[in-house]
Structure 1
């Protein structure tokens, strides 16, 4: 595997267009699971699962602009489809030594994995989705407002680039801020915050790409997503949380129409159930991969 170990389980992966950071748990002779985190999270979100999936090697990458990975160059607006290219390049690197037996994606990571697998089913053996299903979509009548809002936000971002970054006294303050904003358990906010911040002489600041918080200039329509997801052939496990996104549970009938080989299981937990309910989720993953 073309990974560079920087310290302990920390790794870096040079893709043709960008360098990714990540974490790697488990022995090299065990089957590999590639894990893809959600929006504004990072590789640390899979640390709880790695404690239970000890019969596998777990590679958790930081998406560009997250954690320790490089930011995308320039200052242009970002789009979700960029991640498909990242994933394709990453799988190409991994295939030189050990192709993963499964891709596991949470939230944004699951959306990217699902879309990629639908388009390129021969590249993925098994797919595990946690609180994710398909690319987001909206009615085409919203396209003009979306483009307008995206560019307005981007102009504000460009104007703010000359301003000094916000500095926190310590990471605990930042973790508390995320906890209050998202209601994610404080211990998990602390784990994620550790990787998404950098230390300065005067305190700590976010190192995540601020463009991640800007609206995308374009979103697919339902007909586009429907056409992409039809006849999804890869063996897939969908795990949703009882207190996760209600829209995901409402979309299960659509999932059953799209996926030819789908196991759908709901467990007690919130949107980050792979952290708070890691033991339960790990048992489901092991059972799924042994079938």
Structure 2
């Protein structure tokens, strides 16, 4: 494995963990992780990169080793503000190579539309967005959010890291023992009881009271000027949040039509965590696209 180094910087008032791989001064790739994930998740892709790169990956607020702000709800726009601050810190004067997975893919898609001049190349890994909502869902959504505020959110405790690794493999059966063991050590930490729990603020589990406004997202996608590499997994489970496969496929293809310059790829023998399942294949795609 290629060694990584950690750095902590102040991002909008929060002590934020940034993971680095590679040589200072080499071309940079910024990689941002998904929901209930951490920056170390990109280790296997970094290991497979053949070129001379400096990879920079933050832990989002409330995940991994980054500080947990004192909030009961996380607002999606804060990820945009945090990303903007991180990019200005490390590469203020030139467009960046930016990759996002899942939730991170949704963040980078919005950011690239809001700040098109800041993006050299954009890579979206399974960042489809959410199912389309309608205004009549708002009363029920607000009610559910208020109900959830009345109940404390908690993370399950595991006896040891071996149990954490098994939990990762339950979600992703393609994960080898070695990779699951590595990820468990970064994905979880010991709590006051001596149990191991996921390094994610339980508040992330609360429903977002704001509806997903897909046409606002598409307006951002239309504003992207950089080339986009869009990567889906053959065995994705996106249907869990996007709806029935036949209907969701039509909607996803419609959304892709809003990207002016997109290269769409399907990754064989991979699920939603495709950077764990096929890191060598993904690394080859990235380096070809970024060349």
TM band (smaller chain): 0.7 to 0.9
Question: Per-residue displacement from partner, 1:44-82 (whole Å, max 9, x unpaired)?
Answer: 11000001224211111111111111112x233112221
Structure 1, unaligned runs of 5 or more? 1-6
Q: Is 1:273 aligned to residue 274 of structure 2?
A: yes
Shift of 1:226: 3.0
Q: Which residue of 2 aligns with 1:155?
A: 150
TM-score between both structures, scaled by the size of structure 1: 0.86
Match of 2:111 among 116, 119, 124: 116
In 2 relative to 1, CA 271–223 (structure 1 residues): closer, same or farther, beyond 3 Å?
A: same
Worse-superposed segment, 121-130 or 10-19 = 10-19
Q: Secondary structure at the match of 2:150?
A: helix
Instruction: Map residues 7-156 of structure 1 onto 2, 5 A cutoff.
Output: 9-55=5-51, 56-72=53-69, 74-96=70-92, 101-134=96-129, 137-156=132-151
Matched with 1:4 is: none
Matched, 1:227 2:219: yes
> Secondary structure at the residue paired with 1:93?
helix
In the alignment, structure 2 segments of 5+ residues that lack a partner are 243-247
Determine the structure 1 residue equivalent to 2:286. Answer: 285
For 1:243-258, what aligned pairs fall within 5 Å after superposition? 243-244=235-236, 245-246=238-239, 247=242, 249-258=249-258
- Count of matched residue positions in the alignment of Structure 1 and Structure 2: 277
Cα root mean square deviation, aligned: 2.4
Native 8 Å contact 2:174 2:277 kept in 1: no
Given candidates 174, 177, 186, the residue that maps to 2:167 is 177
CA deviations 1:116-162 (Å, max 9, x no partner) are: 111110111110011114466422221111111122112202xx68x
Contact 1:67 1:208 in 2 (8 A): yes
State the distance in 2 between where 1:190 and 1:145 align. Answer: 41
Distance 1:280 1:186, change over 3 A: closer
Q: 1:202 to 1:228 in 2, by over 3 A?
A: closer
Structure 1 residue 189, shift from structure 2 partner: 4.2
SS of residue matched to 1:239: strand
**CA 1:183–1:219 in structure 2 vs 1: closer, same or farther (change >3 Å)?**
farther
Once residues 222 and 4 of structure 2 are traced to their aligned partners in structure 1, the CA distance between those partners, rounded to angstroms, is: 42
